Amino acid sequence: MADTIPITCPGCKKKMQAPAAMAGKKIRCKDCETVITIPGKAASPAAAAKPAAKPAAKPAPKPAAKLAAQPSPPPPPAPKPADDDDEDANPYAAQKDDLDIARCPFCAKELDPPDTLICLNCGYDLVQRRRHESKKVYALSTGDYLKYHMSTFAATIGVILFITLIVLAILYMGELFTEIGLQSDKENPITKKKDYDFPPGACTMPFVVMSLAVIWKLGSFAFVRYVYKWKPIEKKKVQR
């Protein structure tokens, strides 16, 4: 009979036997799903209790009539066949196939495929030797994207609007000054046009500079949203 190691489940206090070859490995209790580490190989109880061999004693002669009259002992009852795996004679013993199964060192679940780098059950990273945090979030809808990018669209419209105002200011600032009466009656000898009491360029240049600053701010915001932060922030589910 193969050597076994007696172990007790710390969760449900079930006593069971494990093959000596499984010493130092982990198994899972079928009743309470507790992961059990099999201790080192212990001395076999049968070997410890077995006394030293003694010389065989010479049997005493018995009457032939008495031996013939004594009936033979009945054979031991045959073990009841198990209906399923839960009714095995030793359901908690580690099976031979378990020796070659790759398991997660954190949750002891079987790794599928065996060479996977992250356990799909608990998220343990076998390369970095740490567990990745997992969280449950709500699925993002079209409304979430529209609500998130309303400011992005507004920034885009603002950039287009200020570019249009810069072009109009450069082209029509002189005509605007003429309409509001800032043009003098004196004629410029070079351009043969009437001068202005206040030059239009003195207003056009500051307006263009301020507009470019606003365009830079709005454009940077819209660019980051379109390129790097297109996806809205995920909402984590609250566990009650």
Backbone angles phi, psi at 201, to 5 degrees: -65, -25
Range 59-72 average pLDDT: 52
Q: Helix H segments across the chain? A: 45-49, 64-69, 142-148, 150-179, 201-227
Residues 195 and 103 in one domain: no
Report the pLDDT value the prediction gives residue 7, as an integer from 0 to 100.
80
Cβ-in-10-Å burial (0-12, 13-18, 19+) of 222 comes to buried
Q: Is the pLDDT of residue 44 over 70?
A: no
d(CA 64, CA 69): 9
Better-scored residue on pLDDT, 197 or 88: 197
This prediction has a pTM of 0.41
Residue with tokens 């839960």: 86
On whether residue 4 sits in a domain, the answer given is: no
Same domain? For 162 and 126 the reply is no
Structural domain includes residue 29: yes
Helix (H, G, I), strand (E, B) or coil at 127: coil
- The answer to whether residues 218 and 154 belong to one domain is yes
Please give the helix or strand (H or E) that residue 63 lies within, else none.
none
Of 65-69, 106-110, 201-205, the least confident: 65-69
pLDDT digits (tens, 9 = 90+) for 133-191: 767 777 888 888 899 999 999 999 999 999 999 999 888 887 777 777 666 666 766 66
Residue 168 CA to residue 235 CA, distance in Å, equals 45
Helix H or strand E segment including 6: strand 4-8
Asked if the structure places residue 73 within a domain, the reply is no
* Beta-bridge partner residues of 19: 4
For residues 148 and 219, membership in a common domain is answered with yes
DSSP calls for 89-139: SSTTSPPGGGGG--B-TTT-PBPSSTT-SB-TTT-EETTTTEEPP---BPP
159 and 223 share a domain? Answer: yes
Given a cut of 90, whether residue 95 has pLDDT beyond it is no
Q: What are phi and psi of 125, to 5 degrees?
A: -90, 115
Q: Please determine, for residue 38, whether its predicted confidence score (pLDDT) is greater than 50.
A: yes
Q: What is the rounded average pLDDT for all residues in the chain?
A: 75
State the Cα–Cα distance between residues 26 and 9, nearest whole angstrom.
12
- Structural domain boundaries, residue 110: 15-37+94-134
CB 2 within 8 A of CB 20: yes
What's the number of domains the chain is made of? 2
Q: Does 7 reside within a domain?
A: no
